[in-house]
Chains A and B, each alone.
Chain A
Amino acid sequence: MKEEREEGDEWEEDINTLPCNPYFLLVPFLLPPPKNMIHLQNIEKVYRTSTIETLALNNINLNIRKGEFVSIMGPSGCGKSTLLNVMGLLDEPSKGTVEIDGQAVTQYRDKELAKLRNQKIGFIFQSFHLINDLSVLDNVEIPLLYRSANGRPRQDYAKDALTKVGLSNRMKHFPKQLSGGQKQRVAIARAIVGNPDIILADEPTGNLDSAMGNEIMAILQQLNNDGATIVMVTHDEQMAKRTHRLVRLFDGTQVL
């Protein structure tokens, strides 16, 4: 039996490892509830123009636990990216509440949201979103610019992150000099350089061939094994099968 519950342990594991003592049947009610990394409650997102209203997300309730690797699937335009944007505090929901690592962000202002994004969340985008005018190293340093890290340690962290994704020999290159797979690895390095708890990936393999896609997926799985909570939007069933859990959306509604 485990003497102490460690942070990040799975709820199911705790139950499975209990001895068959009837008193221990009470333990599930005594242990703290599992920790939610992302908690969405009654989320609704409406896009309004002068003529039409589009319901992009409808009453989404979702918990993502610490250490989970969740994929989100659904047809184009069903609200997958919108959901990811809401989770990543890149977009405000029209209704409902968002909690990140136990913090309800409804009342947060720009500065507080920026700080939370900076410290808790790393993003990977389908089209990489690297700044072409900056070198690979400078791109990876971006999240650290908005912390009080000094120049030298900042560079060291960025170099470490690039080494993790196998790009230590491309630091001085510029994005235009890299292949799609390399660009996505730079984007992953940028997402993990600040050691965030959550990584949100919006179709990270969407612009890559299957070999490159597999490489990126392997890196994400390794990050998950190292403790990161990952939510990934994908169109690829094979990629989705390699995650812990699948969330399906249809017309803005969660169907699975």
Chain B
Amino acid sequence: MFANYIKIAWKVLLRHPFYTFITLFGISLTLTVLMVLTSFLDHIFGSHYPETNRDRSVYIMSMVQRDSAQTGQSSGPMSFKFLTEYVKSLKTPERVTICTFVNSSNAYVGSQKIKLNTKFTDADFWRIMDFEFLEGKPYNEQNIANGEYVVVINDELKKNYFESTGESVIGKTIDIENINYKVIGVVKGSPATRPFSYADVYFPYTAPKSNYQQNGLRGGFVSIVLAKQKSDIPAIQEEFQERARRIPVPGVENGWKYSTIEIKAEPYAENFIGTIMDGGPGLKTAFFGILFFVLFMLLGLPAINLVNVNVSRIMERGSEIGIRKAFGAPIRTLVWQFIIENIFITFIGGAIALLLTGVIIQFINSSGWIAYADLTINLSVFLISLLVCLIFGFLSGVLPALRMSKLTIAEALKS
């Protein structure tokens, strides 16, 4: 029976090539957008190079200080000292790193200026991140304690600054803001969409301009806490909150008096969305409004359109419906027939979409729009797309099928 359904579905597709084109175009375009989007979200939130441990890490990105009247607040990264005292000393995690977000600086090759994205890190940064060292090695606690002027650079900077890709640059110096640093490692770069790991140059936190000795709670540093295993995350959060409660309040920061402090250690995605969620009701409404609108545009409109096309296509087949019913097809069987047909058509659209997505992703990766972009159609993206295909096929098949099932056989045969 299944083969019969598929045979009919295929013949129906061939019957009206233009309708078929519209249907498949709609399905494949929607699924392509959805799959590229899913792939992009996976690129942003998933555990990928060099942040392959992201799934068992929590991020401490921002501290919020509020005054007693709850009218003013100040938020942002923290001081190295604060993170050393309250985070580095945690007992539950496997490891903790303290580093800055992305800073900027300049280097010169002759008269040509190279804009640099820089990052100050401790030695544990290299143990939590899974960077691939193309040359040399990372700096360690010893290099940092000695206050050595060493840096790790990415391959892009090596190419731009040293104008060489072949020979090793380990031991060579790089002039950044009139200070000479010795290159001790070259890594394969991290995409700009991963701000915790992305930089062109990595300095030890003791390098000039890191402000690591800054007093007070706030500064320019953030922290990544690596759990021994994923299940340890709640315990780490609990331990950290227990520590955070010991932060003395009220206090004064840069002449401003705060009375409460809020600080969270959260997994990456929550941390990211939390910024929006904590942004007040207006931002939250706007976020969900946009999300709903985008989803509706992506899924709802094509589904409604497809339902309409399907209703007219199925109603065209009134005679066939009448015959099948007359010869013993119950309504349920016919409804399933049309759902299976639609799922089959949607899967064809899905296959086209998969192909298109592959081409688009390849294009994005090689275009250089996002440095070191590594978008992929991985298994989870593919499975989500497959699920979307199924929901799509089901939604666009069930309504026309139900409408059709209400026809009496005599009416259907007359059509």
Contacts and interface: CB of A to CB of B under 8 A. Distances in A.
B327 A90 contact: no
B331 A110 contact: yes
B1 to A, nearest CB: 5
A27 interface: no
B324 interface: yes
Given A85-B410, A91-B409, A129-B322, A142 B330 contact: no
Contacts of B413: 90, 125, 129
Contacts of A119: 328
B15 interface: yes
Given A111-B332, A134-B8, A142 B323 contact: yes
A92 to B, nearest CB: 8
Interface string A211-250: 0000000000000000000000000000000000000000
B112 interface: no
Nearest to B322: A129
Interface of B is mostly: helix
Given A129-B322, A131-B323, A134-B11, A110 B410 contact: no
B218 interface: no
Q: How large is the interface on B (under 10, 10 to 19, 20 to 34, 35 or more residues)?
A: 20 to 34
B333 interface: yes
Given A90-B409, A123-B327, A131-B320, A146 B333 contact: yes
B410 A114 contact: no
A176 interface: no
B12 interface: yes
A111 B4 CA distance: 21
A129 B317 CA distance: 11
B319 interface: yes
Given A90-B409, A90-B410, A145-B1, A118 B327 contact: yes
Contacts of A142: 323-324, 327
Given A129-B322, A138-B4, A146 B328 contact: yes
A123 B323 CA distance: 9
A111 B413 CA distance: 19
Interface of A: 82, 85, 88, 90-92, 110-111, 114-115, 117-119, 122-123, 125, 129, 131, 133-134, 138, 141-143, 145-147, 151, 190, 194
Given A134-B7, A146-B329, 13 more contacts: A90-B325, A90-B326, A90-B409, A114-B328, A125-B413, A129-B323, A131-B320, A133-B8, A133-B11, A142-B324, A143-B328, A146-B324, A146-B333
